[in-house]
Amino acid sequence: MSNSLVIKGFNGERKLHGTVRTTGAKNAALKAIAATILFRDTVTLTNIPEINDVERLFELLKDMGAEVVHVKRGVYTVSIAKGFSTELTPGIARKMRASVVATGPVLARFGKVSFPHPGGCVIGSRPLDLFVDGFEKMGAKVTMNDGSYSVEAKGGLKGAEFFLKNQSVTVTETFMMAGVLAKGTTVIKNAAMEPEIEELAKFLNTCGAKISGAGTSTITIKGGKLLSGKGHPHKTMPDRIDAGSFLVLGALAARELHITHCNPLHLESPIAALRSAGVSIETKKSEIIVRAPSHLKAVDIKTHEYPGFPTDLQAPMTVFLTQAEGESKVFETIFEGRLNYTESLAAMGAQITMMDPHRVLVRGKSELYGRKLQSPDLRAGLAFVIAAVVAKGESVIHNVDTTIDRGYEDVDNRLRAIGVEVERISAIPEVITHA
């Protein structure tokens, strides 16, 4: 059995109203959790989202020998005990791509690490070549065997200078953390600039690291000793994708929706796109207020590394464009498998043409109809929720536990609180194809 969400559509009416609180950021929390491996004492992490991916990463650390205490909702302490394993437990690590960021700290601290090729969302090929290159540049030897990697740095990691051929978020974070305990200076050029990276650097610097340039495309890390978490509890930043997903939902279906505890400055690109489509958006320091207009205009979007339009909001935005008058082009530049979910939107009534694996053409406005849906990844899962709210009739979204629940905390209760008619049921998984 797995969980499904049953949603009664609004048939295009703007009925949402109220306030939704943004959670701590998944993609910041996961890296802060991995970073605890760089500490000689206990680290306290707060505003951690209670989502499946976080649970799984804690499970991995515990299995490797960490002491993890769930103090209360959103608050955890982590201590890396003696005898901590240098093997990322394959059964757990294989289930989530983000586990790969733990390899940097483990290798830097213990001189070796082994891990399986990680899984995660089905959004593209997602290679590990930049990780392998980086480990080798820092003086480690990498052996690949049967889908697993063993990395060893005899005598410890050495600082190195490297240029990333792609601005990868997890590669940047992995080597920023590895550099903290390496001998000498590490320089990462063409680094990713996502706010979660800057946040991780701030956290590590508060606890003794020497990182400069995080948030720009060149990051310099001076290697040093193990960090100390004493007196420095770390609060996870707001999740820009969680806030952005509710923003898109509000832009389609809200009389007035207040999104609180967020940072609107992290959402400049999506806010600009929605405004040019005719949506009324007001921003305050940590709040966004959105009202859905009666007419939406088509806009083209192109995903890009930060501060460009985030790939993680591409699917919600594509749903939005099905309701805009005219023709919109969606260009997904980061992941080649991240438009496959559009087949399901077409089955709901959207007029979407796939031009190539990276580009679709959306013609609006289309009336959407409730359907049975199964998402390939968590972001498309939330996009289906938005489509279901807009649609006529009832939709059933399957496999919520392995998609939406991985990244969105308490999603059904938060949706219900703003007026969505949603129910969670246990269902036997069905195979649904709309191809």
Put residue 105 in one of left, alpha, beta given phi > 0 → left and psi -120 to 50 → alpha.
alpha
Residue 263 is assigned to a ligand binding site: no
Which of 216, 286, 272 has its CA nearest to residue 47?
A: 286
**Nearer of residues 313 and 389 to ligand EPU, judged by Cβ:** 313
**Nearer of residues 129 and 423 to ligand EPU, judged by Cβ:** 129
- Residues 307-336, one symbol each (x = binds ligand EPU by CB under 6 A, - = not), give ----xx---------------------xx-
Site residue total, ligand EPU (CB under 6 A): 25
∠97-45-131 over CA atoms, to 5°? 30
Span near ligand EPU by CB under 6 A; candidates 26-34, 211-219, 264-272, 278-286: 26-34
Span near ligand EPU by CB under 6 A; candidates 6-14, 60-68, 119-127, 291-299: 119-127
Among 126, 240, 258, 266, binds ligand EPU (CB under 6 A): 126
Q: CA 215, CA 49: separation in Å to the nearest integer?
A: 23
Span near ligand EPU by CB under 6 A; candidates 82-90, 123-131, 137-145, 180-188: 123-131
Strand duo 185-189 + 161-163: pairing: parallel
Which of 40, 27, 122, 109 has its CA nearest to residue 81?
A: 40
Q: CA 162, CA 158: separation in Å to the nearest integer?
A: 12
* Catalytic center residues: 121
Residue 61 is assigned to a ligand binding site: no
At its nearest, how many Å lie between ligand EPU and the CB of residue 100? Answer: 8
- Per DSSP, what are the bridge partners of residue 3? 426
The reply to whether 98 sits near ligand EPU by the rule CB under 6 A is: yes
**Nearer of residues 350 and 378 to ligand EPU, judged by Cβ:** 378
- For residue 285, the 8-state DSSP code is S
The reply to whether 131 sits near ligand EPU by the rule CB under 6 A is: yes
Note every long-range contact of 67-75, with CB atoms under 8 Å and residues 24 or more positions apart, other chains counting: 71/44, 74/24, 74/46, 74/47, 74/48, 74/49, 74/50, 75/44, 75/45, 75/46, 75/48
Question: Which residue in this structure is represented by tokens 């008619």?
Answer: 421
Q: CA 354, CA 73: separation in Å to the nearest integer?
A: 43
Among 4, 22, 27, 374, binds ligand EPU (CB under 6 A): 27
DSSP assignment of 380-417: HHHHHHHHHHHSBSEEEEE-GGGTHHHHSTTHHHHHHH
At its nearest, how many Å lie between ligand EPU and the CB of residue 189? Answer: 15
The beta strand positions in 73-157, using DSSP E, are: 75-80, 112-116, 141-145, 148-152
Span near ligand EPU by CB under 6 A; candidates 75-83, 126-134, 349-357, 365-373: 126-134
Residue 242 is assigned to a ligand binding site: no
At its nearest, how many Å lie between ligand EPU and the CB of residue 65? Answer: 23
- Residues 171-190, one symbol each (x = binds ligand EPU by CB under 6 A, - = not), give x-------------------
Residue 128 is assigned to a ligand binding site: yes
Do residues 329 and 353 lie in contact, with contact meaning Cβ atoms separated by under 8 Å? no
Which parts are annotated binding residues for phosphoenolpyruvate?
26-27
**Chain residues in the site for ligand EPU (CB under 6 A):** 26-27, 30, 97-98, 121, 126-131, 166, 168-171, 192, 311-312, 334-335, 378-379, 407
